[in-house]
Amino acid sequence: MRLLQNSLLSLCFTLAMPLAAAEGPWQGKRAAVALTYDDSLNVHLDTVIPALNELELKGTFYLTIAADGFSQRMAEWRAAAADGHELGNHTLFHPCNGQGPGREWVAAERDLSTWTLGRILGNIEVANTTLQALDGKTERTFAYPCGDTLAGGESYLEAIKPLFAGARGVAPGFPSPDNAERFNLAAHVINGQSIEQLKALVDNAIAQQGLLVFLFHGVGGEHPLNLEADTHAQLLDYLHAQQHQLWVAPMVDIASALAGE
Ligand SMILES: [Zn+2]
């Protein structure tokens, strides 16, 4: 009997060991992953959300309210929220700094360098009201259009803190819970990567016990920054298979956890 107890005990320890090895700083997992999709694209509703739902993964969709992909398909965005995806705020009009090389495409009336702090805040607040009308939620995150944080030369980062659980930036990195900038969270812009490159990002996040935020635009088309739909599906499969050591969650859950809520 004693022998049997001892073997049962050692069996329990053996079974417990892989669990202990997987413990980490992100809800007990080694790394956190957020899947974020910008600019209210039709492919997000047509391709991305069905793919996420099939694997029960939850994403964050940074919605520009004035875009046709939002205004023409509001019932579908409401359904996406009901499925557990986050409707993130990406302003009404997607204003960006129109000054400097590479920004010739920014329309004069959407040139953030000519806006005031009050104007961008009003834009963001009305976007929040619109999103709340769809999902009923008062807690969400924000993504700076083009990653620009200056309106008329003045930072609006501090001013949005009361409005959001956190905000996504555009500089890459794998922050830990201790050094994550909750209102300018690191993110990796995705454009044409191979599945091997995407898996390497995930493996890096696990090795560094960090947060990995994917920043997608087009998936299988609809935007100059694009990832092939097959590659996107392979990435989701990889994340799904790694869930024993990954916390895959919407940005609002990750930002709330960083805030200690
Ligand atoms: Zn954008």
Its CATH architecture, for the domain 25-258, is: Alpha-Beta Barrel (3.20)
Tens of pLDDT, residue by residue over 101-159, are: 999 999 999 999 999 999 999 999 999 999 999 999 999 999 999 999 999 999 999 99
CA of 144 to the centre of ligand 1 (A): 7
Cα–Cα distance for residue pair 92/35, rounded to 1 Å: 22
Average the pLDDT over 226-243 and give the result: 98
* Res 21 pLDDT > 60: no
Write the DSSP symbol of residue 108.
G
- The domain limits of the chain are 25-258
- Model confidence at 8: pLDDT above 60: no
Q: Tens digits of per-residue pLDDT, 74-113?
A: 999 999 999 999 999 999 999 999 998 999 999 999 999 9
Determine the distance separating the centroid of ligand 1 and the alpha carbon of 147, expressed in angstroms: 8
Amino acid 22: pLDDT: 53
Residue 4 pLDDT more than 60? Answer: no
Ligand 1 mean position, distance from CA 75 (Å)? 21
Residues 6 or more apart whose CB falls under 8 angstroms from that of 226 comprise 191, 192, 217, 218, 219, 220
Residue range 192-226, pLDDT digits in tens: 999 999 999 999 999 999 999 999 999 999 999 99
Is the distance from CB of 44 to CB of 67 less than 8 angstroms? no
